[in-house]
Chains A and B, each alone.
Chain A
Amino acid sequence: MKKLIQFKNIIKEFDGNLVLKGIDLDIYENEFVTLLGPSGCGKTTLLRILGGFLEQTKGEIIFDGQEISKVPAYKREVNTVFQKYALFPHMNVYDNIAFGLKIKKQSKDVIEQKVNRMLSLIGLEGYGKRNVTLLSGGQQQRVAIARALVNEPSVLLLDEPLGALDKALRKEMQYELKRIQQEVGITFIFVTHDQEEALTMSDKIVVMKDGRIMQIGTPADIYNEPANEYVARFIGESNIIEGEMREDYKVFFDDRVYDCVDFGFKKNEPVDIMVRPEDLEIVERGKGTISGEVKSILFKGVHNEIIVQTVSGASKTVTMHVLQNHDLTNEEAGEKISANDFYMDLEDVANLSDAEVIARANAQAWDTDDELVSLSKVEYEVKEEPGVYPVTFKTSAGTAITVKITVLEPKFIEDQRKGVGITAFDFYKTADELKESIALDTDLCIWAKAEAWDLEDGSPIEIEDIIYDFDEETITEGDFPITFATKGREFKVHTTKSSEVGKKVDILFSPQDIHVMSKMGNL
C-alpha cells in the first residue's frame, strides 16, 4: 500500500493553548482510519487541518507527495461529511449531491448519471426531488455521504457523523459506512469518541489524548496490547493494577510475583498491569490464581459482572452508642430540648465554634407546636487536652440541657503497605435519629467523621465499605460496632456463570492474560 497522507510534527495553538502537541501520522491508500479520543483531544482539529478549514501553527502535511498547507479548502482533493451533515436547506436531495459537480461545471447528463449512481449507492433511489429538511437523520446522513463521495475524492473525512443518530441506526450506519468504503475503495478518516464504532469499522485506530497520539494500531492490537493505562481504560473494560517488573516474564503485584509473557522492561521498573475482565474466570477456592471474596454481581445482559475483592482495604472500627430519646421538657416555657454527648479530636479543639458544637451535639429545641426554637446560648469550656467537658445549650426562655464532650487524642490507622491512612470516632445517636436518616451510609461517615487519605500525598481516598450489623428501623439502645474501610484490590470479572455475594472463591487466569504496560509518565 502507498502512503497517501503524512502528518509531520503538526502543532496547533489556539490563544496560547496547545491543542495539537506534535502529531506524526501516516495514512495509506484505501485505509479506514479512525481518530479516537474524548472531546477536546484534538481529533477534530486534526481533521479540520486536513480539510483546509484550519491552518496548523507548525508542521507539514504531505498529500500524495505534495505539501498542501497553503492549498485552500476548495482546492483540496478531500471531502468532508460534517457532524450535523450541513446539507443545503434551500436545495433538494438531487441538487445537494450535484453541488460539487455543478461547481466543477460538468455537463448536465454526466451530473445526472453520477448523482443517480450515488443515490443507488446510498439506497435512496427516487429521493432526488425530496426536501432535505424533511428527511430522517439517517437519510440526511446518507445524502451528506453521497454529496461528498460524488466528487470522487481520494480521502473522505467524517467528523463524528453518527453522533446524532440513535443507537440502532448508528449500528446500521456502521455497517453501511464500512460497505461503502469497501465498495468505493478510498481512504476514510473517521473521527469519533465511541470506542465501539472505532473497533467495528477501522483498519487502523489512532488513539488520542490531550493533543498527542497515545497509540496507533489495528483494533485487535489496541484492544489486546494497549500501550498504556489510558488506552486500556478508554478501549473496553479493564482491571488495572500498579506493579513492578522484576525481570523478563516476571511481574510483581499485591505481594506476589506472577508469570507473564511480557519482556524488555528495566529491572524493577514500575509498571501498570492490565487484565481484561473477560479473561478472568471464577473458580472454587484452591483452584485458581488469586483468592478473594465476591463483593457484588451485576447483570449486564450477555454476561454478569462480578466484583471479587482479593485484598481488603484499610479499615477502622468504631462504636456507635445508641441512646434512648432524652428530650428535656420545660413545662413553664412549653419547650423541649435535646442534645447528644459527642467525641472530638484534640486537633479540632482550637477551631471549635458555637455552630460546630451545636451541629456535633445535634442540639435542638422546639415548642409545643413542634416549631424549632433557636438556641440563644451555648456554654462550654474545653481545654486543649484529652478529657471530658460539659456543654450547656439554652433557649431564651431558659430551657437548658447539658451534655458531655469527650476530647480524644487523634487515632489514625496507617496502613503502610497499602499506603492508606484512615480515621473515625465513636459517637452517640438516638434511635430516632437513626430512623430519620435517609442516606444512612453517608450519615454514618459524617457522624463518625470517618476519613481516609493517601499516605504519600495526603489526597482523600473514598471510603467504600461501611460494615455494620443492625437494622436502623428496629434498633434499640446499646453499643454497635461499625467498620469503615477503603477499597481494597478488586477484580472485575465478566462471565456467563453466576456466583453469590460473600462467597469465597478463586480467580483463575494464565500468564497470557496479563498485559504489562509502561507507566504513562507526564503525558
Chain B
Amino acid sequence: MKTFSKLVWPYMAWITVFIVAPMLLILLYAFTKEGNSVLTLQFTLNNFTRFFSDSIFPSVMARSLKIALMTTLLCILFGYPAAYCISKLNDKQQALAILLVTLPMWINMLIRTYAWRGILSYFDFDSEIKVLIGMVYNFIPFMILQIHTSLSKMDQSLIAAAEDLGANKTQTFMRVIFPLSIPGVIAGITLVFLPAVSSFFIPKLLGGGDYVLIGNLIENYFVSTGDWNFGSAISLIMAVLIIFSMFLTKRIDHQIGEEKE
C-alpha cells in the first residue's frame, strides 16, 4: 500500500490548484472591496449587507431554493416508480433500461437544453414551468440510478418474508421495500438538489431573460458586470446554504438509521 500512496500527490495538486485555491479566492473576494490590488487589500462586509438590504437578492435565492426543491420532489415522484419498475425486470432488461436512462447523458447537456427550448417554444407555458421541465429532465437520471441501486440490491427474501407474514403487495411496499430504499432516495436528493439549486444555463435558456435564479445572478456579476467581489459574496452565501441543506439530509438519514436501534 505504501508504494501506491505516492499516487495521491498528483490528485492533491489538482485539488489544490483547481478547488482549494479558487475557494480561497472566492472567500478573499467576498470580504474585500472592489478595485483592490493584492497590495492594498481592504476588508469589508459591504457585499453581504448589499445582498440582504436589497429585497431582490434574497427573493432570487428563495426562488432558486423553491425551484430546486420542486425539481427534487418531482424527480422522486417520477423517478421512484421508474426505478421500481426497472428493478422488477430481469437482468438483461434491467441493463437495457439503465442504458436508456443514461443514454441522453452521452449528449452534451447544453445541446439537450437547446433542444428543449425548441420543443417548449410551441407551448405557452410559464417560464417557471419551462425551467422546471428542463431541470427535471436533466437531473432525473441521477435519482433513478440511486433508487434503482438501493432497490435492486435489496434482499429478495425480505419481500418473500413480508408476504409470508401476511402482508399484501401494498403493505409489503410500505413497510419493507420503501423504508429500506430511503438511503437511495437520500443519495438521489443530494445529487439532484445541489446541481438544481445552482444551475444557471437551464433558466437562462428555457426561462427567457426575465426568469433569474441565483446561478444567473452569480454568472452576471462575474461575466457581465465584472463585480467579482459581489459575485463571490453570493457564491459564498449559496455555498453556506448548500452545506446546511446537506447537513440536514445527513441528519434525516441518520435519524432513520437510529430508529431501528
- Taking Cβ atoms with an 8 Å cutoff, the residues of A that contact B are 51-53, 72-75, 78-80, 82-84, 86-92, 99-100, 103-104, 129, 131, 147-148, 151
Query: Do B260 and A92 have beta carbons less than 8 Å apart?
Result: yes
> With contacts A52-B164, A88-B176, A90-B179 known, what are 16 further pairs, Cβ within 8 A?
A74-B167, A75-B166, A79-B165, A83-B157, A84-B155, A84-B157, A86-B158, A86-B161, A88-B162, A90-B256, A91-B260, A103-B167, A131-B260, A147-B165, A148-B164, A151-B166
A87 to B167, CA, bound (A): 15
Q: How far is the CB of A141 from chain B (nearest CB, A)?
A: 14
With contact pairs A74-B167, A89-B260 given, residues A99 and B162 touching in the complex (Cβ less than 8 Å): yes
**A89–B157 CB distance below 8 A:** no
B260 A80 Cβ-Cβ under 8 A? no
Chain B min CB distance to A82 (Å) = 5
In the bound complex, what is the Cα–Cα distance between A82 and B158 (angstroms)?
9
Contacts of A148 in B (CB 8 A): 164-165
Interface residues in B141-183 by Cβ distance below 8 A to A read: 155, 157-158, 160-168, 171, 175-176, 179-180
Task: Output the residue of B158, B161, B261 with the most chain A CB within 10 A.
Answer: B161
A100 adjacent to B157 (CB under 8 Å) = no
Q: Which of B157, B166, B167, B171 contacts A86 (CB 8 A)?
A: B157
- Neighbouring B residues of A86 by C-beta, 8 Å: 155, 157-158, 160-161
Min CB distance B115 to A, Å, is 42
Contacts of B157 in A (CB 8 A): 82-84, 86
**Which of chain B's residues have a CB closer than 8 A to the CB of A129?**
261
**Residues of A close to B260: CB separation below 8 A:** 89-92, 131
Q: Tell me which of A78, A82, A92, A147 contacts B261 (CB under 8 A).
A: A92
Question: How far does the Cβ of A137 sit from chain B's closest Cβ, in whole Å?
Answer: 16
* A131 to B260 CA separation, bound complex (whole angstroms): 6
Residue in B closest to A132 when the chains form the complex, CB atoms: B260
Q: Are A151 and B165 in contact (CB under 8 A)?
A: yes
Q: Give the top 5 A-B pairs by smallest Cβ distance, nearest first.
A: A100-B165, A86-B157, A86-B161, A73-B163, A103-B166
Contact of A99 with B165 in the complex, beta carbons under 8 Å: yes
The answer on a CB contact under 8 Å between B161 and A74 is no
Q: Are A103 and B171 in contact (CB under 8 A)?
A: yes
Give A74 to B160 CA distance when docked, in angstroms.
9
* Residues of chain B within 8 A of A51, CB atoms compared: 164
* Interface-centre pick from B166, B176, B260 (highest chain A CB count, 10 A): B166
Q: Report the separation of the CA atoms of residues A88 and B158 in the bound assembly, to the nearest whole angstrom.
A: 7
* Residues in chain B near residue A90, CB distance under 8 A: 179-180, 256, 259-260
Cα distance A108–B164 when bound, in Å? 21
A88-B176, A92-B261, A99-B175 given as contacts; is B161 within 8 A of A80 (CB)? yes
Seen from chain B, the residues whose Cβ lies within 8 Å of a Cβ on chain A are: 155, 157-158, 160-168, 171, 175-176, 179-180, 256, 259-261
**Cβ-defined contact, A74 with B166, below 8 A:** yes
Residues of A within 8 A of B162 (CB): 88, 99
What separation, in Å, do the CA atoms of A103 and B166 have in the docked complex?
7
Q: A104 near B166 (CB under 8 angstroms)?
A: yes
- Give me 23 A-to-B residue pairs in the complex whose CB atoms sit less than 8 angstroms apart, sorted by A's number: A53-B163, A74-B164, A74-B165, A75-B166, A79-B164, A79-B165, A82-B160, A82-B161, A83-B157, A86-B158, A86-B161, A87-B161, A88-B162, A88-B180, A89-B180, A90-B256, A100-B165, A100-B166, A103-B171, A103-B175, A129-B261, A131-B260, A147-B165
Name the CB-closest residue of B to A99: B165
A91 contact set on B, CB distance < 8 A: 260
Shortest distance from the beta carbon of A87 to any chain B beta carbon, whole Å = 8
Residues of chain B contacted by A131 (CB below 8 angstroms): 260-261
A311 to chain B, nearest CB (A): 52
A147–B76 CA distance with the chains assembled, in angstroms: 33
Nearest-Cβ distance from residue B9 to partner chain A, whole angstroms: 39
A178 to B176, CA, bound (A): 31
B261 touches A74 (CB 8 A): no
Closest residue of chain A to B164 (Cβ to Cβ) is A80
CB distance from A350 to the nearest CB of B (A): 51
* Contact partners of B166 in chain A: CB under 8 A: 74-75, 100, 103-104, 151
How far in angstroms is the closest Cβ of chain A from B90? 13
When distances are taken between beta carbons in the complex, the residues of chain B under 8 Å from A83 are 157
Interchain CA distance A52-B155 in the complex, whole Å: 18
Complex interface: chain A residues within 8 A of B168 (CB): 72, 74
Return the chain B residue nearest A84 by Cβ: B157
Residues of chain A lying within 8 A (CB to CB) of residue B179: 90
Distance, CA A99 to CA B161, complexed state (A): 10
Task: Compute how far the CA of A78 lies from the CA of B163 in the bound complex, rounded to whole angstroms.
Answer: 11
Q: Are B161 and A88 closer than 8 Å at their CB atoms?
A: yes
- Which B residues lie within 8 Å of A52 (CB)? 163-164
In the bound complex, how far is the Cα of B159 from the Cα of A73, in angstroms?
11
Q: Is the CB of A53 within 8 A of B261?
A: no
B188 to chain A, nearest CB (A): 18
> Closest approach, in angstroms, between the C-beta of A97 and any C-beta of chain B?
10
Residue of A nearest to B160 (CB): A53
Please report the C-alpha to C-alpha distance between residue A151 and residue B171 in the assembled complex, in whole angstroms.
17
CB distance from A81 to the nearest CB of B (A): 9
- CB of B261, distance to nearest CB on chain A (Å): 5
Q: What CA separation (Å) do A53 and B165 show in the bound complex? A: 12
Q: Which residues of B contact A74 (CB under 8 A)?
A: 163-168
**A51 nearest CB neighbor, chain B only:** B164
Chain A residues near B259: list those with CB within 8 A.
90
Residues from chain B with Cβ under 8 Å of A104 in the complex: 166
Residues of A within 8 A of B165 (CB): 74, 79, 99-100, 103, 147-148, 151
Among residues of A, the one whose C-beta sits closest to the C-beta of B182 is: A90
Q: In the complex, what residue of chain A is closest to B260 when comparing beta carbons?
A: A90
Which residues from B are CB-within-8-Å of A151? Answer: 165-166
Across the interface, which residues of A come within 8 angstroms of B163, CB to CB?
52-53, 72-74
Contacts of A100 in B (CB 8 A): 165-166
A198 to nearest B CB, angstroms?
A: 23
**Bound form: Cα–Cα A92–B179 in Å:** 14
Task: Give A80's nearest chain B residue, CB to CB.
Answer: B164
A47 → chain B closest CB, angstroms: 11
Tell me the minimal C-beta distance from B109 to chain A in angstroms: 36
What CA separation (Å) do A129 and B261 show in the bound complex? 7
Q: Complex: how many Å from CA A90 to CA B167?
A: 16
A147 to B167, CA, bound (A): 13
In the bound complex, residues from chain B placing their C-beta under 8 Å from that of A88 are 158, 161-162, 176, 180
Q: In whole angstroms, what is the CA distance A53 to B156 when docked? A: 12
A170 to B166, CA, bound (A): 29
* A129 nearest CB neighbor, chain B only: B261
In the complex, which residues of chain B have a beta carbon less than 8 angstroms from the beta carbon of A87?
Answer: 161
Complex Cα distance, B164 from A73, in Å, reads 6
**Closest beta carbon of chain B to A396's beta carbon, Å:** 45
Residues of chain B within 8 A (CB-CB) of A78 are: 164
A89 to B180, CA, bound (A): 8
- Across-interface contacts of B180 in A (CB, < 8 A): 88-90
**Closest approach, in angstroms, between the C-beta of B31 and any C-beta of chain A?**
46
**B-side contacts of A84, CB under 8 Å:** 155, 157
Tell me the nearest residue of chain A to B165, going by C-beta: A100
- In the bound complex, what is the Cα–Cα distance between A52 and B160 (angstroms)? 10
Residues of A within 8 A of B164 (CB): 51-53, 73-74, 78-80, 82, 148
